[in-house]
Structure 1
Amino acid sequence: MDTELQRPLSFRLSRRGERNNQHPYATDDGGGLLSSRRLPQDNPIKIMWKQGFIRLVFVAGILWMLVILVGLLFHVFSCQSSFSFFSAICNKDSKVFISKDLHGLTPKAEHRCPIPVASDPEKIVIPDGKTPDVIVKGLTYIEEEDWLTMDLISSHYLEVNKAGCKEKRVHCGFLRNGGANMNPVDIEYVKKCRFVVASGTFDGYDVPHQPSNISIRSKKLFCFLMVVDEVSLKFIKKNVTVRKDRDKGMWVGIWRLIPLKHLPYDEPRRNGKVPKILTHRLFPEAQYSIWIDGKMELIVDPLLILERYLWHDKHTYAIAQHKHHRSIYEEADANKRRKRYARPLIDLQVNIYYYEGMEPWSLKKNTISDVPEGAIIIREHTALNNLFNCLWFNEVNLFTPRDQLSFGYIVYRLRGLFKFFMFQNCEYNSLFVLHLHTREHSSKVEWIKSLSEFKGNGSSMKESRGGFGLWTPYPKNLDAVILPPVVRTSKAG
């Protein structure tokens, strides 16, 4: 120890410097992590920066919480305010709310939400008479051999109407023995039906699902009609009990089975549009109808549905808003990505619609959306609604059975004359229980890759109709039409 003290101070300092330059966990005595040697301390400037950063994060968190609190208070105030500007922020049908929704500034939509319906079907007051026909007084359905050469566009009908012609005609459906023919016993039965709940299943994709929560009054008032083809009828007889009444009418629970003969298409999906859209033609005596897809189980009394969606606010046509899309071009893109139908036919359809001036949906339009959720349609069979259904079906006949693509187009062509109520999608999901199909749809037409597969005698595509729009007087250079960005993107995909 004396020797160590006698060494020069400079030597001891150099030894200390060497020890400080060693790894902080290294020790001379082999102590490792258990060594009592002190770790080097942080620079005072670093300590100050760390403390400042922590304070900044803490203050920012407090400010963010205050912003959320103020926003919630303002939202409550806007919903309760009597000023139209502030109330529009809360109103889900307003352009202010829709604009916020498009930019992701509104809460995520609910899957199900309460429906503001009356509680007792027995107390529902059914309106007397019918809603007056403002535009037309009636429709005449004609049967002509050269019907394909006639103009099916809505503007043709409106021009004829404005010209003051006494006879108003529009092509709607099929020639006699050309599709959708019912048995005589069923024809006589549906003549008695003023209130109808209609559904349908084709090619054995579904079995009838019995409605629930149906009042005694509605059971007496409504006809529950299930439209089927021969394949589905055999499938239903094999899987569920079918009883016959004294008139040989067939029943599955509350549903009266209505078999159709001479169906016009080879595609079950397209045949299903006949009872769905042309309900007024299959059941001509019906004044009100509620259509539900075959895979759905109705869980709300139909009288409550009519009161909520038609009578309460004096509507004549109600349909749900699509959950995801407002523009038909977005819906077309989604159909192509999910392989819901043949891409060339979807491209042809939206190309023509865009060429004819159908713009993508935006806030400047007077409709909440151009794309409906068509699994439930609630309507009064007025002349104008029947006209809309005929024109809508003509588009399905002309192009694809994806009827959500053509609904907004017909609304656009009628130039605001057709009024309808489009309700929230979460209400739509509260009206029924969705069941899975017994199997997936399958059609050769759905998988084609080019329109040339429809041409020539050697075509593998079999359809009971011709054209797919190719006979219509549209320009040949539709591929050169400038489409919205979403459609151009989908072509590349």
Structure 2
Amino acid sequence: MPKVPSFSPVLKNLTYIYEENLNKETEFGGSNFGGYPTLKQRDDSYDIRESMSVHCGFVKGTKPDHETGFDIDNSDLLQMEQCHGVVVASAIFGAFDNMLQPKNISKYSEQTVCLYMFVDEETKSDLETEHGLSDGKKIGLWRIVVAHNLPYANGRRNGKIPKFLLHRLFPNARFSLWIDGKLQLLVDPYQILERLLWRKNATFAISRHYIRFDVFEEAEANKAARKYDNASIDFQVDFYKKEGLTPYSEAKLPITSDAPEVCAIIREHVPISNLFTCLWFKEIDRFTSRDQLSFSTVRDRVAAKTNWR
């Protein structure tokens, strides 16, 4: 593991907006969990400066805590704050997926990597019936954390919270690996970090889609599969198109895709990557929860100000 954090271009200090009394006067989108930033505030958050304060979930508290939505027990929060190195995280809500244990994990990783599975009450009940839950709240290598007072009615949308906001849930962690609940970790986390980040002096890596690379094609595939209502998908893509989104082509090289799979995210928690996932989460909160549709818009607007890729 590198001894010092990687360079964060332009942005050096990132804080998060807290609103005791939510201002809901926005043009469209938003939530009680993520806030209701206006389109002007949205544009301002892409004007990247040395110090910034942005909406990034948990707006009703100064940190993830009770009454913010996605509430976590104090005992779990204290343990999460003790994670100072690498965290591997996943989530299952609505008992939608089967929990899969990591394999090929070294003893060193078992002792030093934080492995957390976020669940809701329904999933916890199923896990207790199927596996039993130890006094240490562990099943196999996973420490199970139950999120209460979930802010969204849809389980997949709730899953976006740990997926994109791990730097808020684990404020002292340096690196994170997110894997969707349907996946199984089969390679030691340190090997993944070495190959995808450290060897390349990178701070962010994401899984590519195995077929599609274009937002417009991804949108049509989502509509055909009824992943979300068609009108909302069309509204989001049309909005991005007016902002300058174009179909993917080789002219965008060395960028190889505008629509990643997003089932795995590997990153270093430095200010610029934390901002990136905050902004991405805000797009998901404002528009549809189909994270593939908003990725390239956030990527391109951040890169335009920082040359961070």
1:198 aligns with 2:93: no
Correspondent of 2:183 among 278, 286, 296:
296
Pair 290,159 (structure 1): closer, same or farther in 2 beyond 3 Å: closer
Q: Which has the higher contact order (CA 8 A, sep 6+)?
A: 2
1:143 aligns with 2:32: no
Deviations 1:260-285 (A, max 9, x none): 12211000010110000111111111
Pair 160,392 (structure 1): closer, same or farther in 2 beyond 3 Å: closer
1:401 aligns with 2:289: yes
Helix, strand or coil: the match of 1:266? Answer: coil
Name the structure where helix makes up a greater proportion of residues: 1
Shift of residue 320, structure 1, vs aligned partner: 1.8
Matched with 1:365 is: 252
Separation (CA, whole Å) in 1 of partners of 2:124 and 2:204 = 31
Structure 2 stretches lacking a partner, 5+ long: 24-34, 62-66
**TM-score normalised by the chain length of structure 1:** 0.56
Structure 1 residue identity aligned to 2:298:
I
Structure 2 residue identity aligned to 1:228:
V
Pair 365,160 (structure 1): closer, same or farther in 2 beyond 3 Å: closer
Structure 1 residue identity aligned to 2:52:
K
Q: Is the 8 A contact 1:199 1:294 kept in 2?
A: yes
Separation (CA, whole Å) in 2 of partners of 1:152 and 1:316 = 29
**TM-score normalised by the chain length of structure 2:** 0.88
Helix, strand or coil: the match of 1:168? Answer: strand
Pair 223,324 (structure 1): closer, same or farther in 2 beyond 3 Å: same
Shift of residue 152, structure 1, vs aligned partner: 6.9
Structure 1 stretches lacking a partner, 5+ long: 1-125, 421-493
Separation (CA, whole Å) in 2 of partners of 1:377 and 1:348 = 27
Shift of residue 323, structure 1, vs aligned partner: 1.0
Structure 2 residue identity aligned to 1:280:
H
Q: Is the 8 A contact 1:208 1:255 kept in 2?
A: no
Shift of residue 342, structure 1, vs aligned partner: 1.2
Separation (CA, whole Å) in 2 of partners of 1:217 and 1:418 = 36
Helix, strand or coil: the match of 1:140? Answer: strand
Deviations 1:41-81 (A, max 9, x none): xxxxxxxxxxxxxxxxxxxxxxxxxxxxxxxxxxxxxxxxx
Pair 407,168 (structure 1): closer, same or farther in 2 beyond 3 Å: same
Q: Is the 8 A contact 2:46 2:301 kept in 1?
A: no
1:315 aligns with 2:202: yes
Structure 1 residue identity aligned to 2:258:
D
Q: Is the 8 A contact 1:152 1:391 kept in 2?
A: no
Q: Is the 8 A contact 2:208 2:260 kept in 1?
A: yes
Structure 1 residue identity aligned to 2:265:
I
Helix, strand or coil: the match of 1:315? Answer: coil
Helix, strand or coil: the match of 1:289? Answer: strand
Higher gyration radius (CA): 1
Helix, strand or coil: the match of 2:146? Answer: strand
Separation (CA, whole Å) in 2 of partners of 1:189 and 1:152 = 38
Correspondent of 1:341 among 210, 228, 231:
228
1:180 aligns with 2:70: yes
Q: Is the 8 A contact 1:384 1:418 kept in 2?
A: no
Matched with 1:189 is: 79
Helix, strand or coil: the match of 1:364? Answer: helix
Shift of residue 158, structure 1, vs aligned partner: 4.5
Correspondent of 2:102 among 211, 219, 237:
211
Separation (CA, whole Å) in 1 of partners of 2:70 and 2:156 = 14
Q: Is the 8 A contact 1:154 1:413 kept in 2?
A: no
Matched with 1:462 is: none
Q: Is the 8 A contact 1:227 1:259 kept in 2?
A: yes
Pairs within 5 Å for 1:102-141: 126-141=1-16
Matched with 1:477 is: none
Helix, strand or coil: the match of 2:252? Answer: coil
Q: Is the 8 A contact 2:9 2:308 kept in 1?
A: no
Matched with 2:172 is: 285
Separation (CA, whole Å) in 2 of partners of 1:332 and 1:290 = 26
Shift of residue 239, structure 1, vs aligned partner: 1.5
Separation (CA, whole Å) in 1 of partners of 2:45 and 2:264 = 27
Pair 324,236 (structure 1): closer, same or farther in 2 beyond 3 Å: same
Structure 1 residue identity aligned to 2:127:
I
Aligned residue-pair number: 287
Separation (CA, whole Å) in 1 of partners of 2:79 and 2:175 = 16
